[in-house]
Amino acid sequence: MGSGGRGEAVRREVLGDAHVDAVEPSAFQSYITEAVWGAIWTRPGLDRRTRSFITLAILVALKCHDELGLHVRAALRNGLTEEEINEVVLHAGAYAGVPAANSAVRVVREAVRSSRAE
């Protein structure tokens, strides 16, 4: 199985079938599946929990709130607790700035609520 096949499997495991099925297929989505999910998320150097910690911190720092909610739900699937996610936001806020973290808190709360409802 090439990295695209592995990427598709990891993407579904981390983001969930509902999200993957809802995304419109495109060349860009194929690229993300192969390059990010197939080549990065499948590397042996870090486990999925650690990758989720890093991803959340970067998304908070970059104020990528559209992606943050998705990755909060993914982090919960990868075994992070709500408390750990809140610590990531607090820690990122110390280095990325309070406004970035303050906005992220609202996104995290909503993502955790929607995850509980699933």
Same-domain check for residues 118 and 80: yes
Same-domain check for residues 54 and 106: yes
Instruction: Tell me how many domains the chain contains.
Output: 2
- Measured at the CA of 10, the angle between CA 7 and CA 13, to 5 degrees, comes to 150
Kindly tell me if the per-residue pLDDT of 4 is higher than 90. no
Kindly tell me if the per-residue pLDDT of 97 is higher than 70. yes
Same-domain check for residues 59 and 98: yes
Same-domain check for residues 66 and 101: yes
How many angstroms from the chain centroid is the CA of residue 76? 9
Sign of CA pseudo-dihedral 90, 70, 110, 106: positive
Per-residue model confidence as pLDDT tens digits over 35-91:
999 999 999 999 999 999 999 999 999 999 989 999 999 999 999 999 999 999 999
Residue 6 domain boundaries:
1-45
Same-domain check for residues 72 and 32: no
pLDDT band at 3 (very low <50, low <70, confident <90, very high): low
What pTM was computed for the model?
0.88
Same-domain check for residues 74 and 100: yes
Same-domain check for residues 69 and 33: no
Per-residue model confidence as pLDDT tens digits over 25-50:
999 999 999 999 999 999 999 999 99
